[in-house]
Structure 1
């Protein structure tokens, strides 16, 4: 799909993690699509400790490695411009830790986009350590493009947003509606109650869910919304809903653990098993 692009001057960029792999190329496709829809510039980032000068790599080998990585970024930039010729696309090659580089870039970004990686079935680990680090610590929304995700041009006209019924929901809900407005898509506001409940409780849950998204109608009058209360657990409901969605949007509530900051269980499961890209929106 082609877009008439007029990128907003000084707009916060979309940061895309690039490593030359298939999964980062697919993340780039989604990032370029988002940039075209929202008129935002792209900044393609590749970071590696191997590029540090004065390390164990001889100078000649380091120069060749740097040239190789610069070519990789240039190829990625050309790929994005072929899909959306009007995009403003820049590149950054950094001699630092990739997860830290993406988190640092998130301070002034509109969105960070990373791809999932790895092999495995439902119990397998499909999401790499760099992506997990970024998703748990970024100061802006993070889009994780999962392996089963379709090409963005083939994505359904529906965005699913998880609503827990907590104050932090508003940021994720607003992000979902804004993206739906840009796509011409509808929103499914999904609340998972996690078990069987009485008719009376269902009515209460549905009323509270409707109230949680009611304020979006004024700002996004053209976005159709469908509140949905599910008796499934939140991970089950969101993963199932991902099969027919363009995006699943959830609030990013990080948890402190023995090894540092980490994502909560619901987000962790959804990131590993969603059939479409997942957007994590930091809660205040």
Structure 2
């Protein structure tokens, strides 16, 4: 898994648009990310005309295609107005939105989506396309949310669960360098999950806390060694809600980078997000960059 993840400065940036305002904001945010990386931006619209061919007349199919191409042109013009030097390409796809993004991203592209689309989801919730894209992608996915809140916080936040999240910490460190920001590594451990019950917690909590702190310290030392000029802060917190702590911490970050722990669905078909990434993607106060998580336990649902 690690071999499929390129550092931000060498990854192409692909954003999906569907005509919604969140998708437009995602496109503008993705353009800024492409500028930071020194990479071109590809804007993709998946019209799903192939999937709906049996239900649409030839005239309607042509109408949908014309509307999709017009949307791509309008979005490209909006991006060019804010980033005149950025190389922008557009892609109209007859496939559905998720398939179109996967194909455009290839093996190493970073996919960017808005927090909701045209389906009428509440603004606090992640839309179905964003959720499906984040759940099954094998390359980094950024869900753009919280951009209307106070920006310019100057911090990239990385969620560190264990040593397998060194990839995540490195990626976040590079994002911080590109954005001339500082890096905060945050390790959150659930008290009851760690001890199993309240009774042994009273005797063992200090030892458990030390064990969790050592995990964070090891990752922090590696990041310091590889990024000696970067300002790095690290914190370990205990809580009954890992996701709750990360969501609150996202209020003070420009970007939250975390590993996605994907698990089989209840029926054993496909993959889905674990509980913590799922909640964070729904409620974070800043854009969330989700990386495929390495390690033997990457199929866990937590």
Secondary structure in structure 2 of the residue aligned to 1:136: helix
| 1:29–1:151 contact (8 Å) kept in structure 2 | no
| 1:48–1:96 contact (8 Å) kept in structure 2 | yes
**Equivalent residue, structure 2, for 1:221:** 228
| 2:149–2:285 contact (8 Å) kept in structure 1 | no
Deviations 1:21-80 (A, max 9, x none): 100011112101110011111111101223669544333332232122111101101111
Deviations 1:238-267 (A, max 9, x none): 001011110111101210112421000000
| 2:168–2:258 contact (8 Å) kept in structure 1 | yes
| 2:121–2:127 contact (8 Å) kept in structure 1 | no
Q: For residue 200 of structure 1, report the CA deviation from its aligned partner.
A: 4.7
| 1:14–1:112 contact (8 Å) kept in structure 2 | yes
| 1:206–1:227 contact (8 Å) kept in structure 2 | no
Q: 1:149 aligns with which of 147, 150, 153?
A: 147
| 1:14–1:40 contact (8 Å) kept in structure 2 | yes
| 2:163–2:215 contact (8 Å) kept in structure 1 | no
> RMSD of the TM alignment (CA)?
2.2
| 2:51–2:96 contact (8 Å) kept in structure 1 | no
Deviates more, 1:11-20 or 1:41-50: 11-20
Q: 1:207 to 1:252 in 2, by over 3 A?
A: same
Q: For residue 151 of structure 1, report the CA deviation from its aligned partner.
A: 7.2
What is the TM-score when the length of structure 2 is the normalising length? 0.82
| 2:46–2:100 contact (8 Å) kept in structure 1 | yes
**Equivalent residue, structure 2, for 1:264:** 274
What is the TM-score when the length of structure 1 is the normalising length? 0.87
Q: 1:193 aligns with which of 177, 189, 200?
A: 189
Q: 1:177 aligns with which of 173, 176, 191?
A: 173
Q: 1:54 to 1:253 in 2, by over 3 A?
A: closer
Structure 1, unaligned runs of 5 or more: 1-10
Structure 2, unaligned runs of 5 or more: 1-9, 192-200, 295-302
| 2:47–2:65 contact (8 Å) kept in structure 1 | no
Secondary structure in structure 2 of the residue aligned to 1:50: coil
- Measured in 2, the distance between the counterparts of 1:204 and 1:60 equals 65
Deviates more, 1:200-209 or 1:252-261: 200-209
Q: 1:164 aligns with which of 158, 161, 164?
A: 161
- Matching of residues 37-116 of structure 1 within 5 Å: 37-50=36-49, 55-116=54-115
